[in-house]
């Protein structure tokens, strides 16, 4: 019984570690490629509050990194994300909005009963990396309207 | 180790943009489009998405259908105004599927709603080996490629799922 519990614990730790690796890898790649640092959030409580407000239904386990004053030429974002590979995640959706000068990249993977999504949103002069677990409904909404992903996860669109 | 690196690099280079090869003229539409959406669902992602479809109604049908699929690839362009792309751009895409391996089963032309073409690829034992849907509206161009085994009757069941346009296929068209 103890052995089984240990295996479950190790598997859970392994899944969590893989999740952290994908998120950290992307954050570090942006820092390295664009010569910047993600915004440290001394007001993490405030950030959590913001994320909580923006968090769409059916999502949990948020990881968030924000980059300000980040000028990413739109034509090289694809190349950058292509070079990223995906670790344990699969490239799923790529959205380019010339209207908003935004690009959204979504990678996804299976974690038991939920799906893990790694989302990179590049705006005019900022970028946000989000890692989040989503349930079936949230995954479906993302696939059906991928163009609304940035709005949903950055709190501009209410789909609750 | 070196082999692994090469394989990972090759995978990374192709993962986002694999499958359908669009003519350069269509690729360039991305710069004109107000919005461009690309969805790449490989087998693993399809299994994942399938798990989340319910056992009732249309979702149950879609779930059954995606079991035989290898990948779904969607590319959709939305334009701010009518006439941002030329008929020749779409014709160039259609031309890729006007070969012996493919049959066009639907060719709908509508000034208001746009044009829809559905091409099917023959498979084994009465099954299809793939399908391509090209929906060209006044302000939207959507190209869907479905790879894998599916029954002709199942194609319409995928309409409305995974960003695929609704396919109102009548009984006659299905056969």
Better-scored residue on pLDDT, B27 or B159: B27
Q: In this predicted model, what pLDDT tens digit does every residue of A78-119 receive, in sequence order?
A: 888 887 765 678 888 999 998 888 899 999 887 667 788 999
Once rounded to an integer, what is the mean pLDDT over residues A151-157?
69
Of B15, B37, B49, the CB nearest to A95: B37
Q: How far apart are CA B96 and CA A138, in angstroms?
A: 36
Interface of B to A at Cβ within 8 Å reads 8, 11-13, 15-17, 30-42, 44-45, 48-49, 51-52, 80, 162-163
Give the Cα separation of A97 and A36 in Å (integer): 24
**More confident: B27 or A7:** B27
Q: Which two tokens stand for residue A93?
A: 């959706």
Mean pLDDT in chain B?
77
| CA dist list (Å): A47 to A22, A55, B75 | 21, 12, 34
Q: Select from A93, A97, A136 the Cβ nearest to the Cβ of B35.
A: A97
Query: Using one digit for the tens of pLDDT, what is the confidence trace for B83-93?
Result: 899 999 899 89
Q: Which residues pair with B138 in a beta bridge?
A: none
- Check if the interface score ipTM surpasses 0.90: no
Specify the 3-state DSSP secondary structure of B102: strand
Burial (CB count <10 Å: 0-12, 13-18, 19+), residue A117:
buried
Residue in A78, A91, A99 closest to B34 by CB: A99
Angle value at C-alpha A118, between A114 and A121, nearest 5 degrees: 140
Place of tokens 């980059």: A67
Is the CB of residue A144 less than 8 Å away from at least one CB of chain B?
Answer: yes
Structure tokens at B171: 């009984």
Q: Within its chain, how far is the Cα of A44 from the centroid?
A: 17
Higher pLDDT, residue B2 or A146: A146
More confident position, A32 or B161: A32
The pTM assigned to this predicted structure is 0.76
Interchain CB distance below 8 Å, A108 and B163: no
Element spanning A44, H or E: helix A44-54
pLDDT average, residue stretch A59-73: 85
């Amino acid at each position: 019984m103890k052995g089984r519990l240990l295996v479950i614990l190790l598997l859970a730790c392994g899944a969590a570690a893989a999740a952290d690796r994908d998120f950290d890898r992307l954050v570090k790649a942006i820092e390295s490629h664009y010569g910047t640092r993600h915004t440290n959030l001394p007001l993490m409580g405030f950030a959590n509050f913001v994320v909580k407000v923006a968090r769409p239904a059916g999502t949990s386990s948020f990881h968030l990194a924000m980059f300000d004053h980040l000028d990413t030429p739109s034509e090289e974002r694809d190349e950058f994300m292509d070079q990223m590979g995906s670790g344990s995640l699969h490239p799923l959706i790529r959205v380019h909005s010339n209207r908003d000068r935004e690009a959204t990249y979504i990678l996804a993977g299976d974690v038991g009963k939920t799906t893990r999504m790694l989302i990179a949103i590049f705006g005019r002069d900022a970028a946000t990396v989000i890692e989040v677990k989503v349930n079936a409904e949230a995954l479906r909404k993302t696939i059906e309207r991928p163009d609304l992903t940035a709005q949903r996860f950055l709190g501009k669109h209410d789909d609750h | 180790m070196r082999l692994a690196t090469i394989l990972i690099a090759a995978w990374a280079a192709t993962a986002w943009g694999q499958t359908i090869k669009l003519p350069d003229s269509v690729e360039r539409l991305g710069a004109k489009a107000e919005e461009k959406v690309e969805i790449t669902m490989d087998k693993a992602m399809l299994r994942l998405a399938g798990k989340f479809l319910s056992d009732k109604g249309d979702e149950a049908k879609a779930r059954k259908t995606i079991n035989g699929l290898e990948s779904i690839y969607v590319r959709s362009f939305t334009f701010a105004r009518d006439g941002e792309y030329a008929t020749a751009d779409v014709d160039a895409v259609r031309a890729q599927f006007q070969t012996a391996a493919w049959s066009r089963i639907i060719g709908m032309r509508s000034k208001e709603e746009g044009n829809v073409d559905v091409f099917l690829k023959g498979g084994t034992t009465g099954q299809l080996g793939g399908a391509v849907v090209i929906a060209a509206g006044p302000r939207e161009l959507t190209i869907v490629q479905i790879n894998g085994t599916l029954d002709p009757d199942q194609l319409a069941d995928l309409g409305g799922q995974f960003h695929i346009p609704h396919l109102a296929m009548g009984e006659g068209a299905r056969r």
